[in-house]
Structure 1
Amino acid sequence: MAMASCPSGDPNASPKHSNGHASALDLLRRFNKLQVERVEGYGQFEEAFNTFLSGSAAPELLEQNFNAYKQRVAEITVAFRRISEEIIHIKNSLRDTHHKDEISAIIEKIQDLEEMKLKTTADLQIARKTASESPEDDDLNVSVSNLRQRLDELAQEITETLDDLKFESEDLYAQEIDDETLR
């Protein structure tokens, strides 16, 4: 289901243990890989928008550029949806199978923040496009500035929540080191 240029993730890639489930640590590692994919997706989203925005100066290519942008956004949206669905599965597995309620709650918070970030990113792109058509409109420029500030705040909050996740899951990594030492 992954689209071109977005790294694909195989939900079955985590090693299975005797109970048929991936370990909590394997699930966390998969979550971290999915977060990297999500960051790459945002980069592709921004790149597609910048290409569209720079191409809109040529009115004869506007429709072609817009169609290419819409197609790219559709591909990125499918990739984001796949990532989100897999992370929800990880969150639920950590809660229901491994009884890691706190870790699951942190992942849920990250999901909520990422949802807000995606919406704010889309809003910012719309505002930037509108502002590019009316550069003298101070209200539009303030709106763009406010949305950029909100994105920065969300990025900071996501980073802090990822740090919380790292702190909360330290015991899982320590257990792995202990298990390897005993072998």
Structure 2
Amino acid sequence: MGELRSAEASNSSSGSNAADDTPKQMLSRFYALQEERVQTYKMFEEGFLAYLQGAPNYNFPLYRQLVHEITETFNKISADILHIKSTFAEWNNLLPISEIIGKIQDAEKNKLELTAKLQLCRQKLQDENSETVQIESDEIKQQLKDNRDFLVEQMEELKFESEDLYLEDNEPETVDSTLSAER
């Protein structure tokens, strides 16, 4: 769990002033945050598996601490991504990127909720292997699969929508209409 805090500290200290960032830099930061999410999910799963191995005498206080740290990390990531989304929304020609990032953010929130539900089901299955719980678990697994498929589609859409950022070195259009009047 200490690794989580050190990863958070290094990421927050390496962030730059978003007002000075180019669209490419903002997009790179978004991808880095998505990778941080992947790593956080891995830590969450490893901690959950360790918790399950303690059955029937689960170490709930330790697991609760893990959930707290994971939640803090996901909240920080979400706040950073929402800032990136709003920054892209301020640049007129980059609004579609902002909208895609918003869809990804919503899907990630749903994924976390489904992951927590699945963990509860997995513990119930370990404690009381019932057909009802198995059906619920299978339904949640399908929802998670659908969610992952949607996330992959949106990441591909983001890649497609943002490819112009890598082809051109143009600055984003702003809301200031005086620039077009001068030309």
TM-score range, shorter chain: 0.7 to 0.9
Counterpart residue number, 2:109: 115
CA contact (8 A) 1:14 1:30 kept: no
State how far apart, in whole Å, the 2-side matches of 1:166 and 1:33 are: 14
Counterpart residue number, 1:144: 137
Query: What RMSD, in angstroms, separates the aligned Cα atoms of the two structures?
Result: 2.1
Higher helix share: 2
CA contact (8 A) 1:14 1:27 kept: no
Moved >3 Å (runs of 4+): none
Q: Partner amino acid for 2:12?
A: D
State how far apart, in whole Å, the 1-side matches of 2:120 and 2:44 are: 13
From 13, 19, 30, give the equivalent of 2:15: 13
Please give the per-residue CA displacement for 1:95-117, whole angstroms capped at 9, x wherever unaligned: 11464100000000000000100
Using the TM superposition, name which of 44-53 and 79-88 deviates more: 44-53
1:11-160 aligned at under 5 Å gives the runs 13-14=15-16, 20-57=19-56, 59=57, 62=58, 65-97=59-91, 99-135=93-129, 137-160=130-153
Q: Secondary structure at the match of 2:134?
A: helix
Counterpart residue number, 1:181: none
State how far apart, in whole Å, the 2-side matches of 1:43 and 1:83 are: 15
State how far apart, in whole Å, the 2-side matches of 1:34 and 1:170 are: 19
State how far apart, in whole Å, the 2-side matches of 1:170 and 1:22 are: 17
Percent identity between the aligned chains? Answer: 36
**Which segments of 5 or more consecutive residues in structure 1 lack a partner in the other structure?**
179-183
State how far apart, in whole Å, the 2-side matches of 1:14 and 1:163 are: 26
Q: Partner amino acid for 2:28?
A: R
**Which segments of 5 or more consecutive residues in structure 2 lack a partner in the other structure?**
171-183
Q: Secondary structure at the match of 1:56?
A: coil
State how far apart, in whole Å, the 1-side matches of 2:2 and 2:97 are: 31
Q: Which has the higher contact order (CA 8 A, sep 6+)?
A: 2
Please give the per-residue CA displacement for 1:145-173, whole angstroms capped at 9, x wherever unaligned: 11111111111110110000000000001
Deviation at residue 128 of structure 1 after TM alignment:
1.0
CA contact (8 A) 1:52 1:66 kept: yes
Please give the per-residue CA displacement for 1:18-72, whole angstroms capped at 9, x wherever unaligned: xx52111100000000000001111111111111011123x3xx3xx11111101
Q: How many residue pairs end up in the alignment? A: 167
State how far apart, in whole Å, the 2-side matches of 1:12 and 1:92 are: 20
State how far apart, in whole Å, the 1-side matches of 2:28 and 2:38 are: 16
Deviation at residue 11 of structure 1 after TM alignment:
7.2
State how far apart, in whole Å, the 2-side matches of 1:11 and 1:170 are: 28
State how far apart, in whole Å, the 2-side matches of 1:13 and 1:97 are: 21
